Every structure is written in C-alpha cells, then in structure tokens.
Amino acid sequence: MIRLENLSKIFNEDTPNETLALRYISLDIKEGDFITIIGSNGAGKTTLFNIISGTYPPTEGRVFIDGQDVTRHPEYKRARYIGRIFQDPLLGTASNMTLEDNMMICYKKGFKGLRISLNHKMKEFFREQLDQLDMDLDNRMKDNVVLLSGGQRQALTLLMMAISKPKLILLDEHTAALDPKNAQIVLALTTHFIREYRFTTMMITHNMSQAIKYGTRLLMMDKGEIILDVEGEEKKDLTVDKLVKKFHEIRKRTFETDEVLLSGRT
Ligand SMILES: Nc1ncnc2c1ncn2[C@@H]1O[C@H](COP(=O)(O)OP(=O)(O)OP(=O)(O)O)[C@@H](O)[C@H]1O
Ligand SMILES: [Mg+2]
C-alpha cells in the first residue's frame, strides 16, 4: 500500500551542521499494518513521517502510495489520505472554532466533493460520536476547542481523524504531553479506532513496553536506519529486555538508558 524506496534525508548539506537524518530506508507498509516505532532521540522517526506526509521531500529515494509515485506531491495533496497527530494537542484542531465546526471540516474531508451542511441530523451524529469518547464532550459542541484540556483535545483530534477516513495514520508520540491517566485514555481510544476502522497506522512512541504491547509490527530506528523490523509471533514474543539485547547485538553498543524508553521493563 505504501512503499518507501531508498529514502535518505540530509539537512544543512555542505555546511558544518550537515546531518544525515535518514540513511537509505526502504519499507513496505501493508494495508492493515499497525506499526509501532521506537528509537532514541534524533534517530530520524519524525523525519520519516515528514517525508511520508510530504512536509519536505527526501534528498534521495521515492515514496509510493497505492503504486503511485507521490514523492514530489505537496503536503496538502497528501493530507486527504494521510492523517497525522502530533505530540502537541494544540496542533490537531482549530482553537478558535467550535467542536462542531472542527468536526464538520473533517467530515467533509471524508466525503470529498459532496455538499454537506451542518443540519440537525449531522449535529446529532457528531454528538453521538463525542458521547462515545466518554470525555464529557457531547454537551460542549458549541464551545470553542481552546477551552478543552490536552487529553480532550487529543481525543477530539482522534475522532476527527477517524471521521475523515484516511488511508494511513501517523501518530508521533501523540500521548507524550498528557498526564498518565489521560495518556492511557487516549491510547485506548486510539486502539479502539484503529480496530474499528482497520486503519493502517504508524505510531512513534518513546515507551518500549507500549511499542511491544500495541500493534502488529515493530520497527526500531537508530541513527537514520531501521535496524529491526518484527511482526507476527516474533513480535508477540518480545520483551523490553529482549529488545535491549537485540539492539546490543545489532549495534554493538548499549541501548540508551532513557528511563521512559525502558519503562515497563519486566
Ligand atoms: N528541519 C531540520 N533541520 C535540521 N536538522 C533537522 C531537522 N529536523 C530534524 N533534524 C535532525 O535530524 C535528526 C533526526 O531528527 P528527528 O526529529 O527525525 O528525530 P526523532 O527520531 O524524531 O527524535 P525525537 O525522539 O527526539 O523526536 C536529528 O539529528 C535532528 O537534529
Ligand atoms: Mg520526533
């Protein structure tokens, strides 16, 4: 469904700050894959998402979606089929618009070209959807989004994304800025939506046990490369300790002992 071919990205080429952020990455993402991505700071995870979503082009290599070469397609063109959620809850929704207007925009995106108006039936549909989130939002359709908490905003962003029916979902540490309770709620909602709508998903997380627990396939990145790609039984079999050991075997150095990365070690 999505094919990445030999992608590289060099920032600040030919300057003292030159960074090789991605080193010739190739990857086939199959329909229905739920890929979790881990890797230390600066491994190139966000850069990979930026290239998939067209924020900037790769230095070399190509991106295919359903067989079509979209490498040079601008971000706004890809936004129709790629949904992305960032760490910052402020980025997913329009602050000074009401919940219902935000949802309407996404709904229209999911039904390209159709004339749809915010009538009573539509409002009722939105209210039911908000009610399902169980975050006390169903009676706040006329509130501006700016009044919501971070967790409520991420939940709304998830719901809006689900309504717009993207081909691919990119989640870049989308629960990292939330307190543990809300992070858990948003993560549960995330897996609920992915399961219900069978979204093909890539989720970056800094939490190894989360990366192991969720998804159908796990990628580990280091210094611009994918150094591990496991799925199926092999993934089910993973533990934090096994991952740390594998990293050591592959890279011949110790995995960064970041507490969050290692959290959940059993
Ligand atoms: N716009 C940019 N200009 C220059 N360098 C950049 C830019 N974006 C990323 N980099 C560099 O590229 C490398 C990879 O960064 P990236 O943000 O992709 O890492 P990451 O894996 O997402 O890390 P983190 O876990 O900290 O979010 C880093 O060395 C970073 O400093
Ligand atoms: Mg990042």
> What is the domain partition of the chain in residue ranges?
2-81+166-262, 98-165
What pLDDT digit, counting tens, does each position of 232-249 carry?
999 999 999 999 998 888
Could you tell me if the CB of 15 is within 6 A of ligand 1?
Answer: no
Q: Residue length, the chain?
A: 266
Q: Which ligand is nearest to the CA of 42?
A: 1
d(CA 160, CA 156): 6
Task: Pick from 10, 12, 46 the residue to mutate for probing ligand 1's pocket: most ligand atoms within 8 Å of its CB.
Answer: 46
Q: Which two tokens stand for residue 114?
A: 């159709």
CATH of the domain spanning 2-81+166-262: 3.40.50.300
What pLDDT digit, counting tens, does each position of 118-140 carry?
788 888 988 998 998 888 899 99
| pLDDT given at position 163 | 84
What pLDDT digit, counting tens, does each position of 17-28 carry?
999 999 999 999
What pLDDT digit, counting tens, does each position of 153-169 carry?
999 999 988 888 899 99
**Which H or E run contains 184?**
helix 180-197
| pLDDT given at position 116 | 67
Helix, strand, coil content of the chain in percent (nearest 5): 40, 25, 35
Bridge partners of 68, per DSSP, are 65
Bigger pLDDT: 214 or 132?
214
- For ligand 1, what atom is nearest to the CA of residue 50? 18
Query: Does residue 265 have a pLDDT over 50?
Result: no
Residue from 132, 129, 134, 120 nearest 99 by CA: 129
φ and ψ at residue 226, rounded to 5 degrees: -90, 115
Q: Which two tokens stand for residue 54?
A: 């067209």
- For ligand 1, what atom is nearest to the CA of residue 56? 1
